[in-house]
Amino acid sequence: MKRLVTTLAALFLLSPASFSQQSSPAPPATHANPEFLKAADEVLADVSKIISLPVKSPLKKTVRSREEIREFILREVHEERDAAKWHADQQALETFGLIPRGFELQQFVVDLLTEQVAGLYDPKSKEFYIADWIPLHEQRMVMSHELVHALQDQHFDIEPWSEAARPNDDAELARHSVLEGAAIVGMLEYMLHAQNVSVRDLPDIEQFIRAQMIGEVDKNSQLAKSPAYIRDSLLFPYLAGTAFCQRLLKAGGSWEKFYEIFAKPPVSTHQILHPELYLSGENLPPVSLSAAVKAVPDEWKRLDENTLGEFGMHALLKQFLGEERAQRFSPAWAGDSYVVFEQQKTKRVLLLFRLRLAADSDAARFFGAYSEALELKYASRASLFRRPNFFSFETAQGGVFFYCHNDECLTAEGATRAMFDRITRALRWADAPRPAASGKPGEKIAVVQPLTVPRAYAAHVAP
Ligand SMILES: [Zn+2]
């Protein structure tokens, strides 16, 4: 599932507290308001010095109306992701349970971005836009953020740099977090400059940014109405990205040193969330489902194969089990891969998800937690079968299978038991346990077990 905002590489959605309480009305939009152009030049000169990136070429800059910004976002949304990718993401997100079924994903994202954007830098046209509804006294702050992007782009060519992570959505989100985190840190440095304070001197600023960004969200806004996953993926680069960049800036001691990240980008949101692992050069082997894909019958069309990352694993657990348990389990992420398929005739969806955890014991804990999540996701279940490392049941959307093996776990949603067996064999896993044979051959066996967490895992998952 493509991160919803990674394509809009330079969106700025920081919404300061004063922003929502209609302060002074914005000046009438003109595309070359002399006061605005002068301010932009001043901010650019200051930011360039503060973040140690000289201005290489002049910038195009314009004030834009909401309608114009909406048009830009629509164009980006269509250009950056084709209809097939939107469809694949929609199916994957629905099956993971991260958006409601039938949710108008693309429309919602366009509305959300249009509402939240305050300014943007377009790396394609090398142009910096500011929204005409931003009060004058806030324009400089918004400008400083966007101008960090402009300077990043002049030196590091940010669009190809972000896109080099494709098709790995998690790695692309990690790179996007570097760009946004650095732009937030650069903006704060610009704001603190007069007091001679650097972000390097401050304690953790993520909480401050979080409070600024979500503290004053209007209850009727698209952001407030957003499914948690969409809101979190929109905010992740600005929150985790900021903490990561602050940590790196402190570790390296200078912006010059910080820019080494463009030669050695983080490879996952796991590294963004744990900067010490980025710094120590943690290198996790990839998790693959290629063998499993070959075991799926041809009538199933593969829509997408991608990586959730620690960010996505956290989102999955948070959706069903809450923030606290998501925080507790997700740092054990050590790699994943998922594939979403659609059956040509019926349009049914099949989702395979293979996750590697840091240790066998983490896989056992995850088994307990994610079994609960699956039960919460599928309210009507039949033919429940449960073993200490295997759980399956039938639903209106097909069979759900969840199996952990050593330090790995595999789910198949929308499958049959025969398909699941073919998949586990293709992965060279031992066959999953099966209900004791009884009755006539071929008869559907319904084994209903009480909904208790297996004793061996209870100790790990108890609150
Ligand atoms: Zn930005």
- Per-residue pLDDT of 238-255, as tens digits, reads 999 999 999 999 999 999
Residue 269 C-beta-side C-alpha neighbours within 13 Å: 30
Tell me what pLDDT residue 261 has: 98
Provide the 3-class DSSP secondary structure of residue 410. strand
Rounded distance, CA 96 to CA 425, Å? 24
Tell me what pLDDT residue 454 has: 38
Average pLDDT over the chain reads: 87
Percent of the chain with pLDDT over 70: 87
Q: Which of 23-32, 65-74, 112-121 has the lowest mean pLDDT?
A: 23-32
Tell me what pLDDT residue 32 has: 60
Q: Tell which wins on pLDDT, 449 or 95.
A: 95
Determine the distance separating the centroid of ligand 1 and the alpha carbon of 92, expressed in angstroms.
27
- Confidence class for position 5, pLDDT limits 50, 70, 90: very low
Determine the distance separating the centroid of ligand 1 and the alpha carbon of 454, expressed in angstroms.
46
Determine the distance separating the centroid of ligand 1 and the alpha carbon of 314, expressed in angstroms.
23
Question: Is the pLDDT reported for residue 191 higher than 60?
Answer: yes
Question: Is the pLDDT reported for residue 292 higher than 60?
Answer: yes
Determine the distance separating the centroid of ligand 1 and the alpha carbon of 251, expressed in angstroms.
23
Tell me what pLDDT residue 291 has: 97
Question: Is the pLDDT reported for residue 16 higher than 60?
Answer: no
Question: Is the pLDDT reported for residue 336 higher than 70?
Answer: yes
Determine the distance separating the centroid of ligand 1 and the alpha carbon of 190, expressed in angstroms.
15
Rounded distance, CA 60 to CA 58, Å? 7
Determine the distance separating the centroid of ligand 1 and the alpha carbon of 354, expressed in angstroms.
32
Span 306-324, pLDDT tens digits: 999 999 999 999 999 999 9
Whether the Cβ atoms of residue 331 and residue 274 lie closer than 8 Å to each other:
yes
Give me the sign of the Cα torsion angle 105, 110, 113, 115.
negative
Domain 290-461, CATH number (from 1.10.3470, 1.10.10, 3.40.50, 3.40.1000): 3.40.1000
Determine the distance separating the centroid of ligand 1 and the alpha carbon of 411, expressed in angstroms.
36
Determine the distance separating the centroid of ligand 1 and the alpha carbon of 343, expressed in angstroms.
39
Whether the Cβ atoms of residue 430 and residue 406 lie closer than 8 Å to each other:
no
Determine the angle formed by the axes of helices 34-50 and 169-192, rounding to 10 degrees: 100
State how beta strands 349-357 and 382-387 pair.
unpaired
Tell me what pLDDT residue 245 has: 98
Domain(s) of CATH 3.40.1000: residues in the chain: 290-461
- Confidence class for position 211, pLDDT limits 50, 70, 90: confident
Q: With left for phi above 0 and alpha for psi between -120 and 50, is residue 372 left, alpha or beta?
A: alpha
DSSP 8-state symbol, 214: H
Determine the distance separating the centroid of ligand 1 and the alpha carbon of 159, expressed in angstroms.
13
Determine the distance separating the centroid of ligand 1 and the alpha carbon of 15, expressed in angstroms.
12
Going through 7-92 in order, the beta strands assigned E by DSSP cover 11-12, 60-64
- Confidence class for position 13, pLDDT limits 50, 70, 90: very low
Question: Is the pLDDT reported for residue 460 higher than 50?
Answer: no
Determine the distance separating the centroid of ligand 1 and the alpha carbon of 180, expressed in angstroms.
5
Determine the distance separating the centroid of ligand 1 and the alpha carbon of 107, expressed in angstroms.
22
Average pLDDT, integer, range 327-349: 97
Q: Which of 71-75, 80-84, 258-262, 440-444 has the lowest mean pLDDT?
A: 440-444
Determine the distance separating the centroid of ligand 1 and the alpha carbon of 300, expressed in angstroms.
39
Tell me what pLDDT residue 311 has: 98
Rounded distance, CA 121 to CA 108, Å? 22
Q: Tell which wins on pLDDT, 14 or 133.
A: 133
Span 117-126, pLDDT tens digits: 888 899 999 9
Strand partners, 395: 398
Q: With left for phi above 0 and alpha for psi between -120 and 50, is residue 126 left, alpha or beta?
A: left
- Confidence class for position 22, pLDDT limits 50, 70, 90: very low
- Confidence class for position 9, pLDDT limits 50, 70, 90: very low
Determine the distance separating the centroid of ligand 1 and the alpha carbon of 75, expressed in angstroms.
18
Question: Is the pLDDT reported for residue 272 higher than 90?
Answer: yes
Determine the distance separating the centroid of ligand 1 and the alpha carbon of 85, expressed in angstroms.
24
Q: Which of 360, 354, 357 is nearest to 428 (CA)?
A: 354
Determine the distance separating the centroid of ligand 1 and the alpha carbon of 327, expressed in angstroms.
26
Question: Is the pLDDT reported for residue 403 higher than 50?
Answer: yes
Average pLDDT, integer, range 31-46: 85
Determine the distance separating the centroid of ligand 1 and the alpha carbon of 142, expressed in angstroms.
9
- Confidence class for position 134, pLDDT limits 50, 70, 90: confident
Tell me what pLDDT residue 450 has: 38
Q: Tell which wins on pLDDT, 285 or 129.
A: 285
Determine the distance separating the centroid of ligand 1 and the alpha carbon of 168, expressed in angstroms.
21
DSSP 8-state symbol, 60: E
Q: Tell which wins on pLDDT, 446 or 193.
A: 193
Burial of 380 from C-beta contacts in 10 A (0-12 / 13-18 / 19+): exposed
Whole-Å CA distances, 399 to 303, 344, 354, 416: 19, 18, 17, 5
Determine the distance separating the centroid of ligand 1 and the alpha carbon of 146, expressed in angstroms.
6
- The gap between the terminal CA atoms of the chain, to the nearest Å, is 31
Q: Which of 258, 166, 241, 204 is nearest to 11 (CA)?
A: 241
Instruction: State the Rg of the chain over Cα.
Output: 24
Tell me what pLDDT residue 438 has: 55
Average pLDDT, integer, range 162-189: 96
Percent of the chain with pLDDT over 90: 68
Neighbour order of strands in the sheet with 11-12: 11-12, 119-122, 127-131, 60-64
Question: Is the pLDDT reported for residue 379 higher than 60?
Answer: yes
Determine the angle formed by the axes of helices 105-116 and 228-252, rounding to 10 degrees: 50
Question: Is the pLDDT reported for residue 149 higher than 90?
Answer: yes
Determine the distance separating the centroid of ligand 1 and the alpha carbon of 148, expressed in angstroms.
8
Determine the distance separating the centroid of ligand 1 and the alpha carbon of 332, expressed in angstroms.
29
Tell me what pLDDT residue 221 has: 85
Tell me what pLDDT residue 216 has: 63
Give me the sign of the Cα torsion angle 27, 32, 36, 38.
negative
Rounded distance, CA 350 to CA 329, Å? 25
Span 77-106, pLDDT tens digits: 888 788 899 999 999 999 999 999 999 999
Determine the distance separating the centroid of ligand 1 and the alpha carbon of 141, expressed in angstroms.
12
Determine the distance separating the centroid of ligand 1 and the alpha carbon of 121, expressed in angstroms.
8
Tell me what pLDDT residue 351 has: 98
Determine the distance separating the centroid of ligand 1 and the alpha carbon of 246, expressed in angstroms.
15
Provide the 3-class DSSP secondary structure of residue 64. strand
